[in-house]
Amino acid sequence: MSPAITDSPPPTAPAPAAGDGWALFLDIDGTLLEHHRDPTGVVVDQDLRDLLTRLDRRLGGAVAVISGRSLASIDTLFQPMRLRAGGLFGIEMRLSPADPAVAAPEPPALAALAARAHAEFGHVRSIVIERKGPVLAIHTGPAPGTLDEVTRLAKAALPGLPPGYRIVEGNVGVELMPAQALKGDAVGRFMATEPFKGRRPIFIGDDVPDEHAFESVHRLGGVAVKVGRPEQATAAPYALADVAAVRAWLGDPQFPLLDRLARQEGRPLPATETPPRLSRMAGLM
């Protein structure tokens, strides 16, 4: 089902007096870090670690990443940091940095499909097959025609997978995942616990699975921000151009995060201001 496009900003609430009124949820690939053909080839720079540390302190710990990566992959990527995180689109949850990363198992039928995908596409350099327990990702990259071939294989295999499995066609490939793999549900679980409880959520993401989280934060009176791809339909009424804009906006020392959002919801920022600012999605009234 195509995500609904809203024609107005999220419901306006009285702006809190301090940063502890907000809860921040961040996608990783395509939002905090550029997409890479092979997800294992991504490297986190120290500037990003420092940025997340500052945000965590500013918001009293109400910062979490929610990603298609597993918790183990997130930990490897950001080590030595341990983040509050929803891995595998929320299948694996770590509500506190002190909690262990418990891996979800891979169903035998999905393992068989992964082997079949390797046999069929292993020779194609642009295709990367990523086994993530109960989630199978087939990254196609920009090679023409490969996405159609991979989608065909996934659709043919879907009836043989456990009940509830679905195909999500993203910006750089397809993923097969169970019904409970929903980023918006992960947001809801975080928002029911401290230090997120009672705050107003912000979700920033760039891809199709993030749309469920956008809709979730709308229902919670929050703010959804889409990164890049302005031509795509989205439930997010706000936009940032790319990864660099996201990191600059989050890290701008001159304008506190909450002030930037409160002002944007009230009126457009003056054109003379130079820091990256949220823009309205194309086509919104």
Give 60-70 pLDDT, tens digit per residue. Answer: 999 999 999 99
User: Tokens 């496009």 label which residue?
Assistant: 5
For the segment(s) 108-177, the CATH number from 3.30.70, 1.10.3470, 3.30.1490, 3.40.720 is 3.30.70
3-state secondary structure at position 55: helix
List the helix and strand counts (H, then E) for the chain: 8, 12
Average pLDDT over every residue of 155-183: 91
Q: How many CA atoms lie within 13 A of 216 on its CB side?
A: 22
Q: Indicate whether 267 pLDDT > 60.
A: no
Distance, in Å, from the CA atom of 79 to the CA atom of 242, rounded to the nearest integer, reads 24
Average pLDDT over every residue of 8-15: 35
pTM recorded for the entire structure: 0.81
List the catalytic residue out of 7, 20, 27, 45. Answer: 27
Q: What is the fold of 20-100+181-280?
A: Rossmann fold (3.40.50)
Residue 272 token pair = 């003379």
Higher pLDDT, 101 or 133: 133
What local confidence, expressed as pLDDT, does residue 203 receive? 95
* Per-residue confidence band for 278, with pLDDT thresholds at 50, 70 and 90: low
Could you tell me the residue ranges of all domains in the chain? 20-100+181-280, 108-177
210 noted as active-site residue: no
Residue 230 token pair = 């302005």
* Residue at 105: amino acid letter: P
